[in-house]
Amino acid sequence: MPKILVNTILLASLSNITVAAELPTILDFLPICEPTVLSEFNQEFSFSSDVDEDNPDKLGLEQFRELSINNVLLSAQENGKKSGAEAIIVEQLLVNSFARKLKTYSDSGKRLENEIRKFNITIKTKNISLCDNKQLSNKSTPFNRHGKKIISTNVSIAMALPDSEKLIRQAQNHTPPKSSVSVNGAYEIILGDSFLKLTEKMGPESIKLLTDDDTKILGYGRSLWFHVKNDKVISIEKSNNILNSHGTNLIEFSENYDIDDWYIGSVNYRDTYQKASKILDLVNSNNDIVVYGKQSQLLLNFESFKKDKSKEAELLLNGFTVLPLGGVKKSANLDFSATASIDISHAFFMDTQDVYQLNNQQRINQINLTEEGIWVIGNENLLFSVNDDGLVNKIRVTESIIRDQSKQEFNQVLSGYNIPMLKSEFLTLYPDAEDNFDTVMVFKGNKQLFATFDSYEDNAQLIDVVILFDN
């Protein structure tokens, strides 16, 4: 973990500022007169930290991110001080994050889970000398003293938050419905309710998907799914059947919908089959356990859990599906036809200048609530991040987010995109790359590339690669 650095930043007013005695000020607003540029600072930083189950006191992701950015800003100020600068203008601050979970075992055989977090941050600044009156305009700098990108209006200065961050705040502030489940519906939504009622009741969706039969799927949290067709809710399920664990972990954890407190009358999540059978009229039908209603049915999922080695395994309630009477559970075959024509076979060559832009139709499959901003799903291995104009500023190729995918299948995907499969091949293709153990980083022009491998060895398999564009 990086050392915690402490610094004092002198706040600037709209009218005038006082130069800090120790470190030059990072400006929120541009000077009225043209400043003298003494020097420029362009530097890349990498911060990593591990979080394990046995040490819960380590910094959370947002705290670690903020600490990393603060360290970078402080380094820029120290550089400015060496140049004799009175103030600093931050022209660019790019933050890219990675998280990887490693499972190991202790000497006693206990399984341990350790999460490696990494932030790669690039900063570009100008070290300046102010005019004699030191007055500032009401025109904002590209990035402020906190490392936030800001926009200005004629009246006031407002923070420009990424769409995903706005949605996350809206989702966090939304009052969720009761988590009651019945044969007719769940979370105060019943089959046949409108799409509008669903979104008003549930708040911003974590993820939206489209199937090949034009069914919309709205996900809330990581495992609550509403299926909508012709503007009506046609089924509701609490399951992990839509995405695999890799895809699920891309979604921001929801305090409203990921804490499993749902119930069916007096039967609660994780109650035993024995208890449920005494309260509910359970019917075994075609390998399903069903509660039938007049026009709909509630399918219950029980899984075998063994709480203690000395005791027999128990069937515990773990999920549900609400369907019309006579309906059957179906696999969600997602429709990626709108993005199938996008050719990224040259995107990962650092010398190309390809620009990608997505229209609204190509954004029908999208993860809205994530720690890294909105991800548009191009296919099971391909993710895009876009700006407000639809211009792609990040492309990610990763292992399937939907299903178990073999190494051979994933390597075929990489081959189709002209992406090296092994670490040694990566280093050959990118001779100027920075080899950082299980991560390879490449920086050239307006592009930054980060590749993650399954080990530190030269023959390590690529598992994830991201390229960023400074549009």
Q: What is the pLDDT at residue 37?
A: 92
The answer to whether residue 12 sits within a structural domain is no
pLDDT of 147 strictly over 90: no
Q: Which of 324, 345, 368 is where one domain is finished?
A: 324
User: How far apart, in whole angstroms, are the C-alpha atoms of residue 423 and residue 460?
Assistant: 5
> Both 211 and 277 in a single domain?
yes
Q: Is the pLDDT of residue 181 over 90?
A: yes
* pLDDT, position 60: 62
* 279 has a pLDDT exceeding 80: yes
Clarify whether residues 36 and 76 are in a common domain.
Answer: yes
Tell me whether residue 444 is in a domain: yes
Distances in Å between the alpha carbon of 130 and those of 127, 139, 308? Answer: 10, 16, 70
User: So what's the pLDDT on residue 106?
Assistant: 53
The structure tokens listed for 79 are 């550089």
Residue 313: other Cβ atoms inside 10 A: 11
Please check whether residues 313 and 377 belong to one and the same domain.
no
Task: Please indicate, yes or no, if residue 4 is contained in any of the structural domains.
Answer: no
Instruction: Give domain status of residue 330, yes or no.
Output: no
| Residue 361 per-residue DSSP state | G
One domain, residues 114 and 48: yes
Three-state secondary structure call for residue 464: strand
Q: In a 3-state reduction of DSSP, which class is residue 174?
A: coil
**Token pair of 262, please?**
């749902």
The model's pLDDT over 248-273, given as tens digits with 9 standing for 90+, comes to: 999 999 999 999 999 999 999 999 99
Q: Which residue has the higher pLDDT, 138 or 74?
A: 74
pLDDT at position 122 is 85
**Residue found under tokens 């994780």:** 270
Q: What are phi and psi of 418, to 5 degrees?
A: 60, 40
Q: Are residues 126 and 153 in the same domain?
A: yes
Beta-carbon count within 10 A of 12 CB: 20
The confidence score (pLDDT) of residue 116 equals 61
Is residue 458 located within the same domain as residue 352? Answer: yes
User: Residue 167 domain-assigned?
Assistant: no
Same domain membership, residue 350 and residue 224: no
* Average of per-residue pLDDT across 94-108: 58
Same domain, 348 and 319: no
Q: Residue 206 in contact with residue 198, Cβ under 8 Å?
A: no
Please provide residue 21's backbone torsions phi and psi, each rounded to the nearest 5 degrees: -75, -35
CATH of the domain at 219: 2.60.460
Provide the pLDDT for residue 18: 38
The domain total for the chain is: 3
Lowest mean pLDDT among 7-11, 259-263, 383-387: 7-11
Q: pLDDT tens for residues 37-66?
A: 999 999 888 887 765 544 444 556 667 777
Side by side, the strands of the sheet bearing 87-105 are 25-26, 87-105, 111-129, 36-52
**What is the percentage of the chain residues whose pLDDT exceeds 90?**
56
Asked, for residue 18, whether it belongs to a domain, the answer is no
Residue 11 belongs to a domain:
no
The mean predicted confidence, pLDDT, of the chain is 84
Looking at the structure, tell me whether residues 317 and 348 fall in a common domain.
no
CB 149 within 8 A of CB 160: yes
Beta strands of 69-190 (E only): which ranges?
87-105, 111-129, 136-140, 150-152, 157-159, 185-186, 189-190
Write out pLDDT tens, residues 155-166.
Answer: 222 333 346 677
CB 256 within 8 Å of CB 221:
yes
The answer to whether the CB of 311 falls within 8 A of the CB of 320 is no
User: What pLDDT band is residue 128 in, cutting at 50, 70 and 90?
Assistant: very high
Measure the CA–CA gap between 94 and 2, rounded to whole angstroms: 18
pLDDT over 80 at 368, yes or no: yes
CA terminus-to-terminus distance, the chain: 31
Q: Answer whether residue 319 is part of any domain.
A: yes
User: Mean pLDDT over residues 71-83, rounded?
Assistant: 92
Confidence of residue 151 (pLDDT cuts 50, 70, 90): very low
Q: Are residues 371 and 421 in the same domain?
A: yes
The predicted model scores a pTM of: 0.68
CA distance 13 to 182: 58
pLDDT of 118 above 50? yes
**pLDDT recorded at residue 11:** 29
Is the domain of 282 the same as that of 367?
Answer: no
Owning domain of residue 202 = 185-324
- Regarding whether 201 and 245 lie in a shared domain, the answer is yes
The residue out of 298, 324, 350 marking a domain boundary is 324
